[in-house]
Each structure stands twice: as structure tokens, then as C-alpha cells.
């Protein structure tokens, strides 16, 4: 990034423009303001800042976007899940915003979204890629204006963002109740005060068949025994969330929510697929267990019905695919009108985690943010980003005060993990 540059030329132009104004001394015009501006560190002269190119790279389930400008400032963003095969979509979006000011984040977001009404701009890949672009724009704007993203979003309600640890105790390995207890104990030893476990198990021998979404009595017992073991291991003061990944029907959702009531869950996540808000309402009304959904909803539009009819108790948009940071704040503010907590889903890199943390800091109804255990077990996640300081301490992320998001991608570190056959930041 280039060294800070002066904006004195912009003030001087303003002074010349007002030379004919009566009773104003040209030599004195704007001197105080000019001096104040020059005393503030700056990354650029924003009035002349223009987007020159958009490049991208893919690693496993993530798309990383980098937006370049004519002033050697760039911004980085990330998209997840609905991003396979989207290289040319990224390049297409890049052409739509080339030559424009990256500081008009909302305007550029709307330019891309509105121009795609007949191209899929309601959800899916279109919005996941737009999420990465939009996030990179916020990062770029923050660097240009020497402000952290949360400040651009209107300021912060909190300095630290609480996270829960997804234990990654995946059901495909047929974990036992003891495995659940051990994973819970280990996460608490690492400093986490909130945990998440998966309950869906495709190869459970008690399943009726591979396509039947109704859980058998054997499956229900297995689910209860696993979470009961985790609860017994950590006691009553650790929050426990459970995820069903939308792989069951409403009957099972109601049964599981009722069955787990004695275990005092923080929430039951996505017991059924995302599409039917009315079915979610049936489950929510059947139990005192809080119901959480939103990982597979897109844009604020996708959350409107859920909130209007009281279908869920907690919303959990994934900001790396639901529309980005500005849209994430709109979803949170919409939920706040219904007094519904905001707890974003997060399966990205630390770039995505910190980007989400800026939004979480900026809204009043934030509850908790997802944190992945792979940050502690897979070296790749340390190699693909640059960040100074601790990532997480005692179940909290400290929101970065650096300009932009505060996390940089490391292209050299990413290269060995890049998906073959797809251009890498070219």
C-alpha cells in the first residue's frame, strides 16, 4: 500500500473556486480545515480513487476476491458454499464496477444486484459472489479512509465479539456419547464458553432408509444420549447449540426440540430445510427450545417471512453468502424490529471471521458468532492470511481497529491450496 498522501490539492481547488465570493480572503480560506486534514493519516486521495481490476482465487469451499485501484490500495473479501464454478461471474462483476469509486459501497452493491434480476440475483451463486465483492469494497473503503469497517457501518456497540466453537465432531464417524463429552471438555479447556455439535447422521444404523426424513426412536435416543453426555461433562453454565443441517422433517424437528428441552440448549439449528417458514413456525411453537435458522437464506428479503410470522427465535445469516456486510447489518436491524437475536453462521477463513465480527460489533441485537475448530487444527488457515495478534481469547474475538477489515490474505501461502484448473488471482 502506498504511503499516505496529502489532500491539500483538493482544498486548494475549493479555494480557487470561491475566489469570487465576497468577504472571503483567499489566503485564509480553509486553512484550519486544511491543516486538520493534513494532520490525519490517510491512505489515499478518495476523490480520485477508482477500481482498476478484480481478481480471485479459490481454496476448497471459499472464494477470495481482491479489488485493485489506481492508488495501490486493494480490498479483500470472501464468499463461501455457493461459489463453485463462479470464476467468470467474478470477472463479470468486476467489469461492471471497473472505473468506479469503491467508496460507494451500497451503490455498487445495488448496481450489481439490480442488473441481475433475470440472472439469479435473488439467492445462490449470484449472491454468494456478490457477498465477496461487497466485503472487499468495505475493506477497500476502510483502508482509503483510514477507518475500521465497523466505523463505516456506524460505529460499535462492543469491542469484543463472543464466539461459540463448532467442535467438528462430525456424525459420519459415528461418535459415541463419550466422544461428545470429551469434545465438549476439550473445547472448554481451550477457553470456549459456548459449543456446537451436529446431530444429523446419515449412516446411523437406526435410520428407516436413506431417503426417509423422519427419525426413528433409535435415532432420537442416540441424539439425546450424545447431547446429554456433553451437557453432563461441562455443566449447566456452558452454552450448547445443536445443528441438524436441514436433513429432517417437521415431525422430527418437533420431536427433537421437545426431547432436548431438559438439556437447556442455546438453540436447535435448522432441523428442516430452509424453504418453508410455516413449518419452522410449527416447530418453534411446539417447544421451549429456541429454534435458529438462516444459514441458507439470502439477502434481507430471505428473512422477512421468518420474522413476520415468528417462525424462528434466532436468525443466523452467513455473511459470506447472504449478501455481505452491509446486507448482514440490514438483516440484523430487521431482526431487531422483532426483538430477535442475531447470531451469524461462519464457515470461512479468519478474514471472513473478522469481517463478520465488524458487523456483530455494529448492531445492538448481536448474540454470538460461529467459530471453527479447524482454526486450531489445520495449518492452512494460518498460512493463507496475515494478522498480528491473537485470533481468539476466552471465547471472544477482539474487533480489529486497523483500517478496513484488519486481516490480509496471503497469496503466497494460498497458492499450494488453490483449486487446480481455475485461474489464481489472474
Distance CA 300, CA 323 (A): 8
Cβ partners under 8 Å of residue 256, min gap 6: 199, 215, 220, 223, 244, 248, 268, 271
- In this prediction, residue 31 carries a pLDDT of 52
Q: Greatest CA separation found in the chain?
A: 88
Q: What is the DSSP letter of 418?
A: B
Confidence of residue 13 (pLDDT cuts 50, 70, 90): very low
φ, ψ at 69 (rounded to 5°) = -135, 175
Average confidence (pLDDT) over 232-257: 98
Q: Which three-class secondary structure state does DSSP give residue 336?
A: helix
More confident residue, 202 or 114: 114
Q: How deeply is 401 buried, as exposed, middle or buried, from its count of CB atoms within 10 A (0-12, 13-18, 19+)?
A: exposed
124-145 helix and 105-114 helix, angle to the nearest 10 degrees: 160
List the grid coordinates of 349: 477463513
pLDDT at 203 over 70: yes
Could you report the per-residue pLDDT of 260-303, keeping only the tens digit for each? Answer: 999 999 999 999 999 999 999 999 999 999 999 999 999 999 99
Could you report the per-residue pLDDT of 385-397, keeping only the tens digit for each? Answer: 999 999 999 999 9
- In this prediction, residue 34 carries a pLDDT of 53
Confidence of residue 37 (pLDDT cuts 50, 70, 90): very low
Distance CA 156, CA 67 (A): 26
Distance CA 188, CA 386 (A): 27
Distance CA 400, CA 125 (A): 29
DSSP per-residue string spanning 113-150: HHTTTTTTTTSHHHHHHHHHHHHHHHHHHHHHHT-BHH
Cell 432420537 maps to which residue?
A: 220
- In this prediction, residue 171 carries a pLDDT of 72
pLDDT at 29 over 60: no
pTM of the predicted structure, to 2 decimals: 0.89
Average confidence (pLDDT) over 329-333: 98
Confidence of residue 26 (pLDDT cuts 50, 70, 90): very low
Amino acid at each position: 500500500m502506498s504511503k499516505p498522501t496529502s489532500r491539500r490539492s483538493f482544498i486548494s481547488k475549493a479555494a480557487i473556486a470561491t475566489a469570487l465570493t465576497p468577504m472571503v480572503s483567499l489566503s485564509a480560506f480553509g486553512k484550519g480545515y486544511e491543516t486538520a486534514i493534513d494532520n490525519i493519516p490517510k491512505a489515499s486521495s478518495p476523490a480520485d480513487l477508482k477500481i482498476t481490476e478484480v481478481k480471485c482465487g479459490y481454496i476448497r469451499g471459499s472464494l477470495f476476491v481482491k479489488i485493485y485501484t489506481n492508488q495501490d490500495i486493494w480490498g479483500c473479501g470472501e464468499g463461501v458454499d455457493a461459489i463453485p464454478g463462479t470464476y467468470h461471474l467474478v470477472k463479470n462483476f468486476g467489469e461492471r464496477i471497473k472505473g468506479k469509486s469503491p467508496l460507494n459501497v451500497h451503490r455498487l452493491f445495488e448496481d450489481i444486484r439490480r442488473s441481475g434480476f433475470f440472472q439469479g440475483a435473488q439467492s445462490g451463486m449470484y449472491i454468494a459472489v456478490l457477498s465477496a465483492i461487497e466485503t472487499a469494497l468495505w475493506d477497500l473503503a476502510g483502508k482509503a479512509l483510514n477507518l475500521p469497517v465497523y466505523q463505516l457501518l456506524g460505529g460499535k456497540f462492543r469491542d469484543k465479539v463472543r464466539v461459540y466453537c463448532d467442535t467438528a465432531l462430525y456424525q459420519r464417524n459415528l461418535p459415541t456419547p463419550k466422544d461428545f463429552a470429551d469434545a465438549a471438555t476439550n473445547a472448554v479447556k481451550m477457553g470456549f464458553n459456548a459449543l456446537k455439535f451436529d446431530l444429523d447422521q446419515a449412516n446411523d444404523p437406526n435410520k428407516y432408509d436413506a431417503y426417509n426424513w423422519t427419525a426413528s426412536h433409535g435415532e432420537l435416543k442416540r441424539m439425546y444420549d450424545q447431547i446429554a453426555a456433553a451437557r453432563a461433562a461441562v455443566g449447566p453454565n456452558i452454552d450448547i447449540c445443536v445443528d441438524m443441517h436441514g436433513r429432517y422433517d417437521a415431525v422430527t424437528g418437533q420431536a427433537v426440540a421437545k426431547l432436548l428441552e431438559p438439556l437447556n440448549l442455546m438453540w436447535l439449528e435448522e432441523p428442516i430445510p430452509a424453504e418453508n417458514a410455516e413449518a419452522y413456525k410449527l416447530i418453534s411453537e411446539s417447544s421451549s427450545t429456541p429454534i435458529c435458522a438462516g444459514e441458507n437464506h439470502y439477502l434481507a428479503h430471505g428473512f422477512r417471512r421468518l420474522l413476520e410470522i415468528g417462525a424462528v427465535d434466532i436468525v443466523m445469516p452467513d455473511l459470506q453468502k447472504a449478501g455481505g456486510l452491509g446486507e448482514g447489518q440490514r438483516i440484523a436491524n430487521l431482526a431487531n424490529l422483532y426483538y430477535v437475536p442475531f447470531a451469524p453462521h461462519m464457515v470461512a477463513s479468519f478474514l471472513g471471521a473478522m469481517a463478520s465480527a465488524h458487523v456483530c460489533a455494529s448492531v445492538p441485537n448481536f448474540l454470538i458468532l460461529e467459530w471453527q475448530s479447524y482454526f486450531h487444527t489445520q495449518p492452512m488457515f494460518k498460512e493463507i492470511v496475515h494478522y498480528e495478534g491473537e485470533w481468539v481469547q476466552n471465547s471472544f474475538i477482539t474487533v480489529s481497529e486497523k483500517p478496513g477489515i484488519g486481516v490480509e490474505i496471503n497469496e503466497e501461502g494460498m497458492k499450494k491450496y488453490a483449486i487446480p484448473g481455475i485461474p489464481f488471482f489472474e
